[in-house]
Structures are given as structure tokens and as C-alpha cells.
Structure 1
Amino acid sequence: MSDAASTSVPVIETRALRKVYAEGSEAEVIALQGVDMRVDRGEFVAIMGPSGSGKSTLMNLIGCLDTPTSGTYHCDGVDVSTLDREELAALRRDKIGFVFQGFNLLPRMSAEDNVAMPLGYAQVPPAERSRLAIEALEAVGLGGRTSHRPSELSGGQQQRVAIARALINQPPILLADEPTGALDSKTGEEILALFKRLRDDGHTVILITHDAEVAAHADRTYVMRDGEMHEEGGEA
């Protein structure tokens, strides 16, 4: 596939994506209703909405952590419904980096070891793992903190470690769920600036947030309400 052809394929494309829990029962919950979404390579997109709006359900579907009730999802041109469990795991590993509000770092491991962890699953040799982890930490401004444990790092530094870990496999897509939620506003601004730099480096960043000020940093904003999605005109 030529460069021109590959860039024309959306990194994320959903069509009529629907998710229903306990379908047909009295406890039925329609979490997503016919979501159409297209995100191109190198975009920084925010998905905004209050708790219960469906944005976390959508993130789980985009991250291939759950399957839709109906509709289609193409991730980097691949129809994920055609993949078996092993292929899905490989797609998650190779295509998607996850960043969470709670950092999800292992407390007894150094920053370097936390970042290198995904490479263990990919059976990368230890020396190469170490080199790549240090490079990733340097890329997020933590080259001098490789041997520090999470308890020896500030909240913003821990989130940078988590971002470095998400980037270690060089995935095209970065999914960030409330990544500034546990940080003060100044540190949050620094993390958002880092996401913009990653976008400029060619990563596609999708940010889940309930905060309009955070969403305003993105190139485009989708708003979720009662399982339905609408795009609003936003400025980066």
C-alpha cells in the first residue's frame, strides 16, 4: 500500500456502533446508540460527556476491550469483528496505547521496568527492552528518573511514566481516559502539551474527559449524551 493510500484510511472508523447490556431483560441498558465516528491519522480528538453518557463504553470498544452489540468498527483499516481472541490481543498490543487517570503503575518496579513491561509480553530481549524504555522515558522528559519507583515521583511524573509505557510499542493510537483527572491544573496543562507534541510526531490521540477546558486542547471534540454522539466545532 502506498503512503497516499495508507493515510487515506481512517485510524478509527465506527458505523452505527451500538452497545446494549442485558438486552431484552428488565435491566436492559442502551449504553451506545448508533455511533458514527471517524478519526484520521495524526488527529487529537476529545470525547466529552458526563458520567453515564457512554464515553467509557465507547473507549472500551475503540480499545478492543469489549465488543459491540451491532455496528462496525475498523481500527487502522481492520474490521475488528473478523479477529479471533489472539488477533485482537495482538491488535491491542501493536496499535493502541492506553493511559488511565490512576496511572496503573506497579509500585515495586522502577520507572524503567514499568515502561518496559509491555515488551516482555512481546518477547523482546532484556537489553533491547531496557534501551527502548529509557528512550521512551527520555521522550516524555524523564530521562533522569529511570530508576525511581512511583512513590518517589510526583503525580505528573507518574502520568509521564504511564504515557511512556503506552508508547513503548510505538502504537499509532493513544487512548487516554481522564489522564489529567488526578493532577493539579498546571501539571494537567503540561500533560496536555505532551499529547499535542505526540500528535505532532504522528500519533493519533483520543482523549476521554468530562472537562470542557481539557477538551478545548483537542483539534476536534465529540460530545456524548445518553449514548448518542455529536461533533461540535472546537479549536485546538
Structure 2
Amino acid sequence: MSAASTTEDRVPVIETRALGKVYSAGSEAEVVALHGVDMRIHRGDFVAIMGPSGSGKSTLMNLIGCLDTPTSGSYYCDGVDVSTLDAEELAILRRDKIGFVFQGFNLLPRMSALENVAMPLGYAQVPPHERSERARQALAAVGLAERGGHRPTELSGGQQQRVAIARALINEPPIILADEPTGALDSRTGEEILALFKRLRDEGHTVVLITHDAEVAAHADRTLVMRDGELHEQEAGA
């Protein structure tokens, strides 16, 4: 292993330093959603961020995903200080560094599975032929090689979530950010999706799973717990 790659592996893929988020600051409606969050997640980690509604986990997810900006503190995404980026650079970072997976799948109903998966490559100005080929490979990677021509309504919930994961993987991002990805699935299908995340971790992706469910969080290698806007590391066996 080269010195460069060793250094790269030591740099956290996600690092927050005293991250804070306040809504309606200075008004009677002021809400401190995050307070002094310090977090380091490395390449190949599978981490669950767990907490009840209102704990701050969704706010933290939006900051990690570069969908919102902090009020205080700093966030480094794959070594880049996000606060130094303009809107266009942020959009490129989101496209190249982060694959999003949501509870509601967020697939376009009039598009086939293949077209849904290939869609992010259009924004990256990848030629149409290469888009289709890469989308086929991504679908094959999640076990849906034969379903590329099917529309979302012709697929089960678990298959739709696999399509969404394939779409998240299409730009080969280092980070997979999954928000309640099993929430709309039955328990057996949810187990299959969590097994897929473990495989992605083994292939070198960093998986961050946002959940309110302790049983789902137990599949991760580490669990971080949000309480009243503060982040706590859950002790092993807790």
C-alpha cells in the first residue's frame, strides 16, 4: 500500500467539529436542533445514527448530505471543508461523494428501473450509451439484472428499494446515506436490504444509516445516538 493511500484511509470520510444548527435564532421560536456534534466516520464504516423524532438526527443527516448548512462548527466531507464551497461546487460534491437512499424510494413512476438508475449520469453529462451500460451493471450489483425494463409499479417494495440503492451507487460515491431505508418494508425484506448494505461496506463504501429502530441499528458496526441535539456513542451491548 502506498503512503498516499494510507494517508487517504486515515482521513475520515465524514468529520464534524462542534457542529451546531439553530433555527429561527434570536426569535421566540428559536430551536437548537444540533449542539456541538463531534463525529468521525472512516472509509468502510457502517454506522447507524439513531434517535426518536425531534432528536436532531434528520438535521444531522441534512448537514452530512450537504442539503443544509450549519450555524456553527465545521463539516469535512472526504477531507473537503464544505463551508469553502459555492453552490455549484456543493452540487458537484453531493453528486460525486454521496449516494442517497430514502424510505419512500423516490423513483419516477413513468421511467423504467434502468432509466431511474441512469438518471444521475445525465446530470454528470455521461454519454447515453455509457449511462445504460453503467445502469445495467448497477442493477446487476443489487440482484436486479432482469428487471431493468420494469416500471416501479411492476416491482415489489424490496425491489424498488434495490433500484434506489443502485441509483445511489451509480456515481460510485464513497458515502451511502440511507434515511429509514427499511421503514416501508416488511421485516424479511428489510433484512435483505440491510444485508445488501453490509456487502457494500465490505466493498469499501461508507454506509450511514439514519433510523429510529434499535433492531435496525443493531445491524451496523457502530451506533451513534442523538438525544436533544447532542450525539452520544452507544456502548457495545447497550
> Hey, what's the Cα distance between the residues in 2 that align with 1:175 and 1:233?
23
Partner of 2:114 in structure 1? Answer: 112
* Secondary structure class of the residue paired with 2:209: strand
> Hey, what's the Cα distance between the residues in 1 that align with 2:170 and 2:123?
12
1:66 aligns with 2:68: yes
Retained in 2: the 8 A contact 1:219–1:234? no
Give structure 2 stretches of 5+ with no counterpart: none
Identity of matched residues, %: 81
Q: How does 1:23-172 map to 2 (within 5 A)?
A: 23-172=25-174
Give structure 1 stretches of 5+ with no counterpart: none
User: What do you get for the CA RMSD once the two structures are aligned?
Assistant: 0.8
> Hey, what's the Cα distance between the residues in 2 that align with 1:78 and 1:213?
33
> Hey, what's the Cα distance between the residues in 2 that align with 1:163 and 1:234?
28
TM-score by length of 2: 0.98
Query: How far 1:100 sits from its partner (Å)?
Result: 0.2
TM-score by length of 1: 0.99
* Secondary structure class of the residue paired with 2:52: coil
> Hey, what's the Cα distance between the residues in 2 that align with 1:234 and 1:92?
32
What is the aligned counterpart of 1:10 among 9, 12, 20?
12
Letter matched to residue 216 of structure 2: V
> Hey, what's the Cα distance between the residues in 1 that align with 2:153 and 2:230?
40
Moved more, 160-169 or 224-233: 224-233
Regions of 4+ moved over 4 Å: none
> Hey, what's the Cα distance between the residues in 2 that align with 1:54 and 1:6?
30
Q: Deviations over 1:34-78 (max 9, x none)?
A: 101000000000000000100000000000000000001000000
> Hey, what's the Cα distance between the residues in 1 that align with 2:33 and 2:175?
23
> Hey, what's the Cα distance between the residues in 1 that align with 2:22 and 2:135?
39
Q: Deviations over 1:66-99 (max 9, x none)?
A: 0000001000000000000110000000000000
1:206 aligns with 2:208: yes
